Structure 1
Amino acid sequence: MHFYPFFDPTMILLVPAIIISFWAQSKINSAYSEYSQVRTINGYTGQQVARMMLDEAGLFDVRIELINSKLGDHYDPASKILRLSPEVYSGASISSAGIAAHEVGHALQHKERYAPLVIRNSIVPIVNIGSNVSWMLFFVGILLGFKGLTTLGIILFSGVVIFQLITLPVEFDASTRALNILKSRGILYGDETKSAQKVLDAAAMTYVAATLMAVSQLIRLIAISNRRND
Structure 2
Amino acid sequence: MFIGWDPMYWLFIAPAGLLMLWAQMRVRSTYAQAMEVPAPLSGAAAAQHILDASGLPDVHVEETQGFLSDHYDPSARVLRLSSEVYHSRSAAAVGIAAHEAGHALQHATNYAPLVFRNAAVPAATFGPQISIVLLILGMMMQSPPMIWLGILAFGGIVVFQVINLPVEFDASNRAKQLLGEMGIVDAEGASAVRSVLNAAAWTYVAGTLQSILTLAYYIFRFTGGSRDD
TM interval, shorter chain, is over 0.9
Instruction: Report the Cα distance in structure 2 between the residues aligned to 1:217 and 1:91, rounded to whole angstroms.
Output: 38
- Measured against aligned partners, the alpha-carbon deviations of 1:105-163 in whole angstroms (never above 9, x if no partner) come to 00000001000000100121233221221122112212331212211110010000000
Counterpart of 1:24 in structure 2 is 23
- Specify whether residues 229 and 146 from structure 1 end up closer, same or farther in structure 2 by C-alpha distance, changes over 3 A only: farther
Q: What is the CA-CA distance between 1:65 and the residue it aligns to?
A: 0.7
RMSD: 1.4
Structure 2: state its 5+ residue gaps: none
Q: What is the CA-CA distance between 1:229 and the residue it aligns to?
A: 7.8
Counterpart of 2:151 in structure 1 is 154
Contact 2:37 2:188 in 1 (8 A): no
Divergent runs of 4+, >4 A: none
Counterpart of 2:36 in structure 1 is 37
2:47 is equivalent to residue 50 of structure 1: yes
Identity of aligned residues (%): 41
For 1:180, give the aligned amino acid. Q
For 2:157, give the aligned amino acid. V
2:180 is equivalent to residue 200 of structure 1: no
TM-score w.r.t. length of structure 2: 0.94
Q: What is the CA-CA distance between 1:4 and the residue it aligns to?
A: 5.5
- Measured against aligned partners, the alpha-carbon deviations of 1:69-115 in whole angstroms (never above 9, x if no partner) come to 11000000111000000110000011001000000000000001000
For 1:78, give the aligned amino acid. S
Contact 1:72 1:85 in 2 (8 A): yes
Counterpart of 2:59 in structure 1 is 62
Structure 1: state its 5+ residue gaps: none
Q: Secondary structure at the match of 1:82?
A: strand
Instruction: Report the Cα distance in structure 2 between the residues aligned to 1:135 and 1:166, rounded to whole angstroms.
Output: 23
Counterpart of 1:174 in structure 2 is 171
For 1:189, give the aligned amino acid. D
For 2:98, give the aligned amino acid. A
For 1:109, give the aligned amino acid. Q
Contact 2:34 2:91 in 1 (8 A): yes
Q: Secondary structure at the match of 2:120?
A: helix
Counterpart of 1:142 in structure 2 is 139
Instruction: Report the Cα distance in structure 2 between the residues aligned to 1:4 and 1:82, rounded to whole angstroms.
Output: 40
- Measured against aligned partners, the alpha-carbon deviations of 1:32-65 in whole angstroms (never above 9, x if no partner) come to 111112222xx21000000100000111110111
Q: Secondary structure at the match of 1:66?
A: strand
For 1:75, give the aligned amino acid. Y
Instruction: Report the Cα distance in structure 1 between the residues aligned to 2:27 and 2:190, rounded to whole angstroms.
Output: 17
For 1:51, give the aligned amino acid. Q
TM-score w.r.t. length of structure 1: 0.94
Aligned length: 226
For 2:182, give the aligned amino acid. R
Q: Secondary structure at the match of 1:150?
A: helix
Instruction: Report the Cα distance in structure 2 between the residues aligned to 1:152 and 1:229, rounded to whole angstroms.
Output: 20
For 1:38, give the aligned amino acid. V
Counterpart of 2:71 in structure 1 is 74
For 1:74, give the aligned amino acid. H
